Each structure stands twice: as C-alpha cells, then as structure tokens.
Structure 1
Amino acid sequence: MGSPSRKGTTTEEDLPPPSPDVSVLVPAHNEERTVGDCIERAMQTLEGRSLEYEIIVIDDGSTDSTHAYASEVAHTNGGTIRVLQHSARLGKGAALVAAARDARGKVVVVLDADLEYAPEEIVRLVEPILQGRSEIVFGSRFAGQLDGMSFAHFLGNRILTKATNPLYSARLTDVMTGYKAFQRTSFDRLKINRSAFTFEVEIAAKALKLGLRVNEVPITYRRRLAGQSKLRWTDGIRCLVHLLELKRVDESS
C-alpha cells in the first residue's frame, strides 16, 4: 500500500491512468458466435504492435448469449476489456455513442463483432492518425478485397458513395464502410445523433462539411459466415434520404 498523500500534493496513485493509444469499440447485437473471436483477434493484433489499448464491447439489446461470451473474455483480461449493455436494441449509432462516451484512447476504432472486417487490419486504420496524417480513416472495401458481398449490398453502397462525392466535393470510394478510425477529438466534433444505420452517412457528411482530413485505406471484406445480416434494402433508402436532408440543412444554415 502506498503512503498517504499530504494535503495539497498529488502522488502517483492519485493520478488518472494514462490514456491508451487506441480504443476499439465493438458494437454487437446477437453475435454470440463471433464476438469472443473478434475480441481475441483484436487483442493479439494490438499487442503484436506494442500499442496500449482498450476494447469496449457494447451489447445492443442482444437476446442470445453475446453479453455472456464477451463478459467471459473480459473477465480473463483484467481491465483491458469492458462490456456495456443496452437492455433493449437502440441501434448501432446509439451503441457507438454510448461506447465512445467511456473511451479514453487517442484514437477510436469501430470494429463490427460479426468478423466481416478483419481485426488484423486495425493498425492499418490507426497508424495514419497516430502519425498525424489523418483525422479520420475509412477502411475501403472497394479499394481492397471483396469476398461475397451481395449484388444488392454492392449496388447500394456504390449509389450512396456516388451521391455523397458531388454533394461534398469528395473522392471517397466507400462511404458506408463499417470499419472506421477517428482521432478522438474529431469523433466528438461530429456530434452523432442518429441511432440507426443512417449514422454511417451522417459521419461522412459531417466530417466532410467540417473539413476534417478524411483518408481511406484498403481493407479486406468477407461476407459473414455466422448469423444474419442486420441490413435491409430499406436501410439504403433511409441513408440516401438522410444524406439529402443533411445537405439541405447545410445549405439553409
């Protein structure tokens, strides 16, 4: 036990823990088959690069054993992993905002629990930010390797990206990617308020409007092997409508 601090002085024990390099946010809804593997692979990747990190899993109202599996991994890894839980499903956007509220890292990375994105590629997204070259990094599936994306999913992604670029004078290839990294202060500036899937276009539109340095890196995408996709064709329409709404608000403000 350390000696008590004298009045008016601060000891090492009184200081808050140092901020990690990276906070990995893992939103999960009914992902019991993959969430444990996702966490462990992310840990191995970051430890292999000697990065200080934390992993925050947010169970968004799962009705399976997602919370139990994530908690089991967290229990065996001390305070490196934390598991938050929504009693009801609020949407991926709401889950990320809740997790980001607790995050302490200099860089925040979003990694889906379904393993469609490879945890081994986290560093590819993080490095440009840690090196001061970017404020936000999108992992582009279309600049990398695609494996098994459905035609409807492919078409919807391309349409939304093609719609975004002329609206915001951008040259992005994958607006709707779920694999993103943010400088923590830049994430806070976005003030995300969409709880559902439409938050993806909100991120892109607000980042471009603010003039943040948004870059892309190629990533590998493999269609999920376990469970079912949470996306429907109507989500794409909602995203397009929201994108146009955001632009209209920009022009009227």
Structure 2
Amino acid sequence: MKQQTLSIIIPAYNEASTIFRLLEKVHHTRLVHDIRKEIIVVNDCSKDNTEEEILRFTETYPDCTLVYHKQPHNQGKGAAIRAGIQKITGNWTIIQDADLEYNPEDYNPLLEWMIENDGKVIYGSRFLNKTNKHSYQSFYLGGRLLSIVTNLLYGQHLTDEPTCYKMFDSGLLRSIPLKSTGFEFCPEVTAIVCRRGYKIPELPIRYYPRSIEEGKKINWKDGLIAIWVLVKIRFANKHSLE
C-alpha cells in the first residue's frame, strides 16, 4: 500500500524571527499511521530574512521533504496559499501559519478523524480548548462573530471559523475555485465548502497567541472583508463555485 501523505502549506511574510523554529516543530512532529509530511513553504516576497532562515533550515535538515516557492511580488496570504495548493501531492492538506501560535502535534487528532470518517474537511477550534488564552478581546470577539455569521448563513455549528488549522481532502481543496489574495482566504474556502453541502466538524486545538508587537498582522478591516465574503458567496450563483 502506498504511503499516505499530509501536505502542509506554510505561507510566510516577514516571519524571520519564527520560521526556523516553526519548521523544526513541523519537521519533528511524528504523524499517526506513519503518514509522511510534505512541507510547502511559500515566501510572499518577505522584506526581512525569512528566505535566509528557510534556506538555513533546509541546510540544517537535508532529510526534510520541503518544497520552497518564492512569490514574484508580495500578493497576500490567500495568493500564497493558492500558490501552495498548486504544488500539493498529498492525500490531505492543512494550512500552517509561519508563526508559533499553533502546535503541529495537533495535526494528529485531525488526521485520525479524517481517516476514521473518510472525511473531506475538518477544522481545529481554538475555542473548544478552554485552557487557551487569547491576546486581545477584539480578536476573540471578532472570531466569535465570524463563526456566528457563518452558522447563520450556512447552517453550520462552528465555534472557530477563522482558525488557521483547516484540514481538507486534497482533491476537494484543489477543486475549489479560490480567488482570494489576502486574509479573506478563510471565509472564502469555508463558504464554498458550505455551499457544496459539507458540514464542517471541529476538534479542540492548542493556541499560543502573539501580540501585534510580535508580528500579528490581521486587523478589524480584515474582519469586515471576511463578513462581506461570507455574505457574497452565500448568494452567489452556484455554478460559479464549481
């Protein structure tokens, strides 16, 4: 039987302070059922030493299966993820931010669920883990609001729509006609998956939030854009989502 693979897409922009340690954590995480990892790093034309840190990692760990792609110019997180999707070869795909807010060991319960249920999609929820802390009340409330809007528009029961840890069957992810370039990737992919009739289950994950001073980039304007994307896709022509 051919060994199964998890593709891990890591979009990175100005993450020189964390990318090496993050890649180490991903590399050292042992997956269930001897599933192999395919790490795809997309550098969104960073202005700091992100590229040097990525190359330092590949030199330090030559045994690691890592695909590196540098965008021709800065386009945004969504565009970086879309570039990564073009390179995936694994059975499943998960998105991993280049900071240290999430723990790659949480891939495993998500993978177990996907395997046991022949699943197509599952999200890791920061809010289902009651031990997690959140850096800013505004981010906490914003995440809750996006989840409520998603549930009202699409009949879901999500607690954490904007979570980074979204895991997909790779065939499903490749089939989605994504257009986003920025942080609106999350509501776009969620909305289209919902319009296709999938119920999105969740499992609790760990979360270690960083501050704006430490490099957190999302803001309230991204929240407004996310709500607009959720509403727009809810009433879009279904043929445009296929």
* Fold match (TM-score > 0.5): yes
Give the direction of change, closer, same or farther, for the CA distance of 1:155–1:74 in structure 2 (3 Å limit).
same
Give the direction of change, closer, same or farther, for the CA distance of 1:41–1:252 in structure 2 (3 Å limit).
closer
- Please give the alpha-carbon distance, in whole angstroms, between the structure 2 residues aligned to 1:248 and 1:122: 33
Q: Give the partner amino acid of 2:110.
A: L
Which residue of the partner structure matches residue 32 of structure 1? 16
Q: Give the partner amino acid of 2:78.
A: G
- Greater gyration radius: 1
The answer to which structure has the higher strand fraction is 1
Which residue of the partner structure matches residue 151 of structure 1? 137
Q: What is the aligned counterpart of 2:151 among 143, 165, 168?
A: 165
- Please give the alpha-carbon distance, in whole angstroms, between the structure 1 residues aligned to 2:41 and 2:3: 18
CA distances 1:198-233 after superposition (whole Å, capped 9, x unpaired): 111111111111123521110111112673111111
Give the direction of change, closer, same or farther, for the CA distance of 1:48–1:124 in structure 2 (3 Å limit).
closer
Overall identity of the aligned pairs, in %: 29
Map of 1:119-134 to 2, 5 A cutoff? 119-134=104-119
Give the direction of change, closer, same or farther, for the CA distance of 1:116–1:79 in structure 2 (3 Å limit).
closer
- Please give the alpha-carbon distance, in whole angstroms, between the structure 1 residues aligned to 2:191 and 2:33: 32
Cα RMSD (Å)? 2.1
Map of 1:20-169 to 2, 5 A cutoff? 20-46=4-30, 50-75=34-59, 76-78=61-63, 80-144=65-129, 145-169=131-155
Cα offset for 1:31? Answer: 0.7
1:134–1:214 Cα contact (<8 Å) kept: no
The structure 1 segments of at least 4 consecutive aligned residues displaced by more than 6 Å after TM superposition are none
CA distances 1:173-197 after superposition (whole Å, capped 9, x unpaired): 1111111111001111222111111
- Please give the alpha-carbon distance, in whole angstroms, between the structure 1 residues aligned to 2:153 and 2:93: 27
Unaligned runs of 5+ in 1: 1-17
- With normalisation by structure 1, the TM-score equals 0.86
Unaligned runs of 5+ in 2: none
Give the direction of change, closer, same or farther, for the CA distance of 1:77–1:127 in structure 2 (3 Å limit).
farther
Give the direction of change, closer, same or farther, for the CA distance of 1:153–1:71 in structure 2 (3 Å limit).
same
Q: SS at the partner of 1:61? A: coil
